[in-house]
């Protein structure tokens, strides 16, 4: 490129010199002609002088290199090019820093249009490209846009806290500051604003998790702790020398301690899921294979309970989803465990995995009652067709669930039958855990039931293809 530029400058200089030479020829010839006409010089003398001048001028142009003529211009252009290259290098470095930032960053022009958005910013708003769009249409947070307008007009930085809308709520703080793009030429400067967004969701969830854990633990552990303390007092008192009473009370104390252990484990599991609920999973998981692994791991439970398991899935079908394998494993395990506990004696459990909407098992007879998200609602929320969903459904053939209880089944510690739940070792957190896992995966969880007809629990996920 440098050689082409030098050649262009030399050729341009040569053309300029040729034009100047022709002008010199014409002007000097005109002067000689005027002198001859005015009788001030003999034509022979004038012609000789003109020819001598032309010869001297030709020699001057011949031995004056085009490179010499072009050198000053080339130096000026090269200086400007170096300055532009340095500016471009600085811009590339700034853009590289912006791309590397894990936090969202926008740059807005004076009209509120997005001039730059780094990958984290595009992930936040869920758009493949945000440049050229109005900021109010990119980030659905009116308070942030209003703050950006104020910064663009006043030049004073500010910050504002806001909550994003969508399937998973996220709490963020936006730092907005003016950008001085032409400090040495204020008259050429146009106001711009930098919007830097920090995700506070994890911090807020930690605070809420701590409060919820303390409240839940203190409420649910109070009864078993009181029971254990009462048995300890009894064992120290009149049952101190009664082996039969000691064996009975120690057995009850062990059961209560195991229940507290399960409760703490479920509370910790739920807290971990809630903490990362705003972080989308990245791993590719085959839902059919995963359900098969869960069934295999629960084989001892089925054997001890005498449960009958029927697993169906589409042979060779692609049932891959973007998921956290351990979490989805836990969700399916909780659903199957519940079906074994409450699905009759002995329990019969049907597990199915497939594409599209999970089939309703209550298409005949009395109408079933439903709660939660249908496949159509999940597909509309994700902006895909129902055929792009993958489901896992667990059905039992137990007594069914009352209509009034269905919407509350995913609440923490809610139990349809408290006594039966405690006898079977339930903590009241199983379905709450399933609901939060499905929420993290931006899927849907639906419960269908008919009295005396059992219940079906379906989780819908977006296909990974």
Q: Output the average pLDDT for the chain.
A: 81
Query: Which pLDDT value is given to residue 459?
Result: 95
Cβ distance 335 to 444 under 8 Å? no
Residue 286's DSSP bridge partners are 320
How far apart are alpha carbons 298 and 337 in whole angstroms?
8
pLDDT at 295: 93
Which pLDDT tens digit goes with each residue over 331-377? 999 999 989 988 877 889 999 999 999 988 887 766 688 998 999 99
User: Is 85's pLDDT higher than 60?
Assistant: yes
Q: Mean pLDDT, to the nearest integer, of 460-465?
A: 88
Name the band, by pLDDT with cuts 50, 70 and 90, for residue 238.
confident
Partnered with residue 116 across adjacent β-strands are 107
Pick the residue with more confidence: 341 or 17? 341
Instruction: Tell me how far apart the alpha carbons of residues 270 and 323 are, in angstroms, rounded to a whole number.
Output: 17
- Say how far apart CA 417 and CA 419 lie, in whole Å: 6
Residue 149 to residues 18, 177, 356: CA-CA distances in angstroms? 58, 11, 45
pLDDT for res 58: 75
The pLDDT of 293-300, averaged and rounded, is 92
Rounded Cα distance between 448 and 370, Å, is: 4
Residue 220 CA to residue 260 CA, distance in Å, equals: 8
- Whether residue 119 contacts residue 99, with contact meaning beta carbons closer than 8 Å, is answered with yes
Distant-in-sequence, close-in-space partners of 101: CB < 8 Å, separation ≥ 6: 118, 120
- What pLDDT does 363 receive? 74
b/e map 325-356, b = 16+ CB within 10 Å: eebbbbbbbbbbbbbbbbbbeebbbbbbbbeb
pTM above 0.85, yes or no: no
pLDDT value of residue 316: 79
Q: Which of the pair, 151 or 48, is modelled with greater confidence?
A: 151
pLDDT of residue 291: 94
Count of CB atoms situated within 10 Å of the CB of 315: 6
Task: Yes or no: say if 121 and 174 are a contact pair by the CB < 8 Å rule.
Answer: no
Q: Give the tens place of pLDDT for each residue, 88-116.
A: 666 666 666 667 677 888 988 888 888 88
Per-residue pLDDT of 165-224, as tens digits, reads 665 677 889 999 998 755 455 454 578 888 998 888 877 767 776 666 666 666 667 777
pLDDT reported for residue 69: 55
The predicted model gives 296-302 an average pLDDT of 90
Is the N-terminal amide bond of 233 cis, ω within 30° of 0?
no
Task: Read off the pLDDT of each residue in 273-301 and give the average, rounded to a whole number.
Answer: 87
Per DSSP (E only), the strands in 49-108 are 105-108
Dihedral of CA 223/228/231/236: which sign? Answer: negative
Percent of the chain with pLDDT over 90: 21
pLDDT of 136 strictly over 60? yes
- Inform me whether the pLDDT recorded for 25 exceeds 60: yes
pLDDT tens digits, residue range 372-405? 899 999 999 888 999 999 999 999 988 888 888 8
The whole-number pLDDT of residue 93 equals 67
- Report yes or no: 252 and 227 within 8 Å, Cβ to Cβ: yes
Residue 285 has pLDDT above 80, yes or no: yes
Nearest in space to 435 (alpha carbons), one of 344, 347, 330: 330
- Note the pLDDT tens digit of each residue in 438-462: 998 989 999 999 888 889 999 999 9
- Cα 40 from Cα 30, distance rounded (Å): 14
Report the chain's terminal Cα–Cα distance, integer Å: 46
Alpha-helix runs per DSSP H in 117-200? 119-125, 135-138, 142-154
Question: Which residues are CB-contacts of 54 (< 8 A; sequence separation ≥ 6)?
Answer: 25, 28
Q: pLDDT category, 43, cuts 50, 70, 90?
A: confident
State residue 179's pLDDT score. 82
The arithmetic mean of pLDDT across residues 44-69, rounded, is 71
Q: What is the pLDDT of residue 328?
A: 94
Whether residue 237 has pLDDT greater than 90: no
Which domains, and CATH codes, for the chain?
A: 2-83 (no CATH), 101-199 (3.30.450.20), 202-279 (1.10.287.130), 280-465 (3.30.565.10)
pLDDT reported for residue 20: 76
> Is the CB of residue 375 less than 8 Å from the CB of residue 449?
no
């Amino acid at each position: 490129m440098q050689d082409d530029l030098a050649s262009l400058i030399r050729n341009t200089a040569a053309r300029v010199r040729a034009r100047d030479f022709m002008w010199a020829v014409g002007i000097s010839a005109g002067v000689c002609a005027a002198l001859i006409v005015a009788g001030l010089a003999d034509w022979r003398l004038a012609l000789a002088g003109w020819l001598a001048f032309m010869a001297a001028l030709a020699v001057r142009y011949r031995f004056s290199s085009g490179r010499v003529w072009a050198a000053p211009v080339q130096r000026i252009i090269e200086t400007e090019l170096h300055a532009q290259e340095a500016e471009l290098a600085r811009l590339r470095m700034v853009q590289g820093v912006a791309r590397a930032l894990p936090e969202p960053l926008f740059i807005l022009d004076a009209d509120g249009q997005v001039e730059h958005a780094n990958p984290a910013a595009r992930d936040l708003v869920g758009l493949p490209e945000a440049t050229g769009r109005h900021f109010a249409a990119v980030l659905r947070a009116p308070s942030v846009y209003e703050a950006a307008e104020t910064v663009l007009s006043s030049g004073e930085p500010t910050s504002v806290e806001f909550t994003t809308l969508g399937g998973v709520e996220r709490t963020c703080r936006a730092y907005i500051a003016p950008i001085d793009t032409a400090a040495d030429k204020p008259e050429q400067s146009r106001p711009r604003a930098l919007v830097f967004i920090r995700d506070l969701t994890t911090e807020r969830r930690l605070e809420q998790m701590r409060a919820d854990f303390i409240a839940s633990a203190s409420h649910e552990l109070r009864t078993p702790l009181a029971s254990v303390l009462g048995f300890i007092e009894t064992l120290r008192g009149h049952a101190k020398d009664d082996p039969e009473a000691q064996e009975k009370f120690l057995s009850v104390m062990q059961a209560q301690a195991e229940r507290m252990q399960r409760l703490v484990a479920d509370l910790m599991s739920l807290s971990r899921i809630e903490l990362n609920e705003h972080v989308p999973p990245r791993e590719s998981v085959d839902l059919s294979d995963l359900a098969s692994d869960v069934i295999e791991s629960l084989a001892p439970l089925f054997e001890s309970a005498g449960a009958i398991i029927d697993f169906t899935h589409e042979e060779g079908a692609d049932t891959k989803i973007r998921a956290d394998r351990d979490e989805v494993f836990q969700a399916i395990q909780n659903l199957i465990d519940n079906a074994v506990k409450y699905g009759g004696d002995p329990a019969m459990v049907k597990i199915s995995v497939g594409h599209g909407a999970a089939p309703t098992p209550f298409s005949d007879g009395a109408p079933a009652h439903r709660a939660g998200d249908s496949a159509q609602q999940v597909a509309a929320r994700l902006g895909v067709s129902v055929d792009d969903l993958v489901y896992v459904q667990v059905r039992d053939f137990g007594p069914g669930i009352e209509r009034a209880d269905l919407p509350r089944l995913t609440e923490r510690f809610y139990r349809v039958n408290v006594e039966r739940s405690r006898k079977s070792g339930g903590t009241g957190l199983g379905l709450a855990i399933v609901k939060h896992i499905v929420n993290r995966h931006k899927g849907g969880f639906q419960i269908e039931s008919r009295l005396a007809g059992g219940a079906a629990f379906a989780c819908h996920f977006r296909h990974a293809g």
